[in-house]
């Protein structure tokens, strides 16, 4: 087994194998998130070629985002049952097939099935829950920092591929923009197949920062299947008020990020005569700022009250969205927005994951976060469709951006209510498959 050989080589150099698993997870989330963000750069070329309205295309993207979120709790359960390697490779196969087959589509239902359903299911299998699962299983020391890095990879991946994609759209055509993302996904799948390990116990290790034999107990054999387990965890978590506080704030998080900026920012800027390549460059700049902001958020989440971190993140994001329509809509003017918005694009994830783990435990925390992340993507799907409908019906995106900014201010206050779970509510044990 290549993983065992690599672990032995690294151990002689004092390097824990957790960092290999973390690196593989980073690359997986980076590339699959790139596939998730790619269709947002193709709204305008698809509209020009097929004559579909923004609202029509947005309905397919909203379905993709909805499935991305709905898969999250089941993804966590699948990882428990089938392991990280099997889930990741399956996800990449679905994503690659969906993207490639869409280059030959001739009708809208093809877009709906391939980029709505197939890509939505594939990306949902490697959603934020993957990062939460790896951080909780493999790291005790530096868990918040690692979670920040993994979260940043997902956010950065959604944006990093866009400048290349828009350049290919302009010079070759939108179909050519699909192939770099697919190639990256296939390369990552090969690395995962060779070197990914499900748990540190499989190599006779403890989690990073933990001695062997002192970690979580080995998973029990039997118990409910992945789907039943996911719903059992939801039934228990739904009795905890803090769960609904996190679910609600994450709904607004998705509404103000994936659903609005990722899906419609390029088209929004085009309304103000900013070139598509320039708008994509601004998104890439946000990705750079987000990387540093989310890593810093992971570091801060180890040291400060996570509720107050969320208060500041949502508040600053709301103010930046309210200011955006008043900017100059030049590359340099939008760079100011990219700085403030980008720094907390997905900086909300590490505090939310930390609160989930604190409230519900190391094994159940990722599954509970999976349901919270479902709220994120329901909000994103709502914003994706609603913003497209506003653009088609009213002729501009302004109501969507002002509404998202105001909702972020509501989320800032709601985050402060995500306190401890009631002492009378206990999470009953559920056997891990």
Of 337, 321, 325, 317, the residue nearest 396 (C-alpha): 325
DSSP state letters, 224-287: S-HHHHHHHHHHHHTT-HHHHHHHHHHHHHHHHTIIIIIHHHHHHHHTTT--HHHHHHHHHHHH
**Average pLDDT for consecutive 10-residue bins of the chain (433 residues)?**
85 90 91 80 83 82 79 80 90 91 88 88 82 84 80 70 79 87 91 91 84 52 65 87 92 87 82 82 80 83 88 92 84 81 81 85 77 86 85 85 93 85 43 39
**Which whole-number Å values give the CA distances from 132 to 36, 283, 355, 357, 367, in the listed order?**
19, 25, 12, 9, 9
User: What is the helix, strand, coil percentage profile of the chain, to 5?
Assistant: 80, 0, 20
Looking at domain 2-199+224-415, its CATH superfamily turns out to be MFS general substrate transporter like domains (1.20.1250.20)
Q: Which two tokens stand for residue 271?
A: 């309304």
Token pair 């994103």: residue? 380
Token pair 């302004």: residue? 398
Token pair 């498959």: residue? 433
Q: Which two tokens stand for residue 353?
A: 């994951």
Cα 98 off chain centre by = 19
Q: How many CB atoms are closer than 10 A to CB 117?
A: 16
**Rg of the Cα atoms in the chain:** 21
Of 375, 363, 338, the residue nearest 432 (C-alpha): 363
**Residue 223, pLDDT score:** 54
Cβ 48 vs Cβ 54: under 8 Å? no
**Which whole-number Å values give the CA distances from 398 to 58, 258, 332, 383, 390, in the listed order?**
17, 17, 21, 13, 8
Token pair 């990552």: residue? 188
Cβ 289 vs Cβ 338: under 8 Å? yes
Of 326, 318, 316, 307, the residue nearest 415 (C-alpha): 307
Residue 294 neighbours by CB under 8 Å, 6+ apart? 148, 149, 151, 152, 155, 345, 346, 347, 349, 350
**Residue 294, pLDDT score:** 80
Task: Give the CB-side neighbour count of residue 212, counting CA atoms within 13 A.
Answer: 8
Residue-range domain boundaries for the chain: 2-199+224-415
Cβ 170 vs Cβ 277: under 8 Å? yes
């Amino acid at each position: 087994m290549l993983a065992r050989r690599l672990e032995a080589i690294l151990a002689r150099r004092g390097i824990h194998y957790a960092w290999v698993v973390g690196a593989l997870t980073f690359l997986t989330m980076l590339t699959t998130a790139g596939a998730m963000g790619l269709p947002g750069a193709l709204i305008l070329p698809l509209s020009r070629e097929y004559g579909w309205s923004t609202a029509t295309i947005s309905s397919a993207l909203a379905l993709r985002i909805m499935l991305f979120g709905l898969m999250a709790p089941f993804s966590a359960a699948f990882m428990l049952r089938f392991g990280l390697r099997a889930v990741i490779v399956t996800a990449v196969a679905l994503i690659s097939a969906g993207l490639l087959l869409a280059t030959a589509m001739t009708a809208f239902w093809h877009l709906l099935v391939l980029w709505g359903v197939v890509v939505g299911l594939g990306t949902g299998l490697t959603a934020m829950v993957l990062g939460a699962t790896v951080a909780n299983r493999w790291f005790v020391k530096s868990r918040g920092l690692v979670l920040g890095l993994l979260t940043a990879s997902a956010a950065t991946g959604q944006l990093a591929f866009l400048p290349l994609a828009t350049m290919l759209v302009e010079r070759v055509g939108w179909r050519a923009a699909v192939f770099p993302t697919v190639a990256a996904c296939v390369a990552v799948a090969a690395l995962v197949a060779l070197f990914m390990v499900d748990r540190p116990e499989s190599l006779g290790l403890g989690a990073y920062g933990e001695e062997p034999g002192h970690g979580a107990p080995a998973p029990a054999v039997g118990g409910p299947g992945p789907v039943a387990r996911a719903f059992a965890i939801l039934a228990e978590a739904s009795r905890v008020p803090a769960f609904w506080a996190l679910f609600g704030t994450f709904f607004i998080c998705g509404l103000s990020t994936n659903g609005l900026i990722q899906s419609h920012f390029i088209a929004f800027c085009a309304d103000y005569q900013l070139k598509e390549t320039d708008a994509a460059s601004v998104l890439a700049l946000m990705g750079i700022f987000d990387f540093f902001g989310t890593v810093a958020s992971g570091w801060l989440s180890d040291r400060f009250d996570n509720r107050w971190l969320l208060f500041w993140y949502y508040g600053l994001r709301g103010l930046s969205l309210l200011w955006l329509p008043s900017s100059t809509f030049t590359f340099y003017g939008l760079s100011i927005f990219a700085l403030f918005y980008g720094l907390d694009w997905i900086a909300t994830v590490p505090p939310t994951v930390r609160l989930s783990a604190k409230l519900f435990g190391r094994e159940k925390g990722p599954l509970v976060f999976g349901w919270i992340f479902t709220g994120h993507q329901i909000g994103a799907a709502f914003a994706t469709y609603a913003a497209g409908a506003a653009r088609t019906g009213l002729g501009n995106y302004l109501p969507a951006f002002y509404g998202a900014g105001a909702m972020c201010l509501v989320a800032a206050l709601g985050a402060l209510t995500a306190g401890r779970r009631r002492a009378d509510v206990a999470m009953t044990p559920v056997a891990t498959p």
